[in-house]
């Protein structure tokens, strides 16, 4: 099975899930706009964190697909489950934006963390399935690059898992960790990560 249509389906989901995030931002027409906009910074922050997170996962997914020779049905189905989590992200993003300053902060931070943890888990699943025994890899895929990807991806579920657990003690700290993870990946691939 050729891999180009998996890519175009995945690109559609990445782009669309990222664009739908904007629907989470709304204002109340009956109140003055200026103060509302200043007051809405958690919505803007949540928008930015989730957009950057989806963008980075998309870029990494490009990297994965680039290493593959072909895909099989099993890989395709794990991809569907992985994209199901990606497309889910706008919902907990909305919860985080609206509730991080209120009494529902813990539930919102948990919902966000569990979603991102699941996303990272399925992303690892599709990579490990493809890379194990070089099952779906291109003949010319450099084994050191493959091992480097494997090592760096495994950090995803761990860091989101930790940040999710932190939500049980401090939802705000947990939200800070979600932002920090996105920022780390952004800087890692830019300032530090130019080596690629």
Contact between 56 and 119 under an 8 Å Cβ cutoff? The reply is no
The three-class DSSP label of residue 139 is: coil
Kindly tell me the sign of the dihedral angle through the C-alpha atoms of 195, 139, 157, 40. Answer: positive
Binder of a copy of itself out of 39, 41, 70, 80 (CB under 8 A): 80
**Chain centroid to CA 121:** 11
Contact letters for a copy of itself, residues 27-66 (x by CB under 8 A)? x-x--xxx--x---------xx--xx--xx-xx--xx-xx
Residue in 28, 30, 73, 139 binding a copy of itself, rule: CB under 8 A: 73
Which phi and psi angles does 68 have, rounded to 5°?
-90, 145
**Is 177:162 a contact under the CB 8 Å cutoff?**
yes
Q: What tokens does 107 get?
A: 């539930």
Q: How far is the CB of 143 from a copy of itself (least distance, A)?
A: 19
- Residues at the contact surface with a copy of itself, assessed by CB under 8 A: 1-2, 5-9, 11-23, 25, 27, 29, 32-34, 37, 47-48, 51-52, 55-56, 58-59, 62-63, 65-66, 72-74, 76-78, 80-81, 83-84, 87-88, 90-91, 95, 98-99, 103-104, 106-108, 111, 186, 189-190, 193-194, 196
């Amino acid at each position: 099975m050729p891999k180009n249509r998996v890519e175009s389906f995945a690109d559609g989901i990445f782009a669309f899930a990222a664009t739908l995030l904007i629907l989470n931002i709304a204002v109340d027409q009956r109140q003055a706009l200026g103060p509302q906009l200043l007051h809405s910074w958690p919505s803007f922050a949540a928008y930015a964190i989730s957009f950057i997170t989806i963008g980075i996962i998309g870029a990494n997914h490009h990297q994965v697909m680039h290493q593959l020779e072909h895909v099989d049905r099993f890989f395709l189905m794990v991809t569907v489950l992985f994209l199901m989590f990606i497309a889910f992200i706008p919902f907990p993003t909305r919860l985080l934006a609206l509730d991080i300053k209120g009494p529902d902060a813990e539930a919102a931070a948990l919902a966000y963390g569990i979603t991102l943890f699941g996303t990272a888990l399925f992303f690892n699943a599709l990579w490990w399935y493809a890379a194990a025994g070089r099952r779906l890899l291109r003949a010319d895929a450099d084994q050191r690059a493959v091992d480097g990807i494997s090592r760096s991806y495994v950090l995803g579920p761990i860091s989101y898992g930790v940040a999710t657990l932190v939500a049980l003690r401090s939802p705000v700290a947990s939200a800070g960790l979600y932002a920090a993870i996105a920022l780390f990946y952004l800087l890692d691939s830019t300032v530090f990560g130019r080596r690629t």
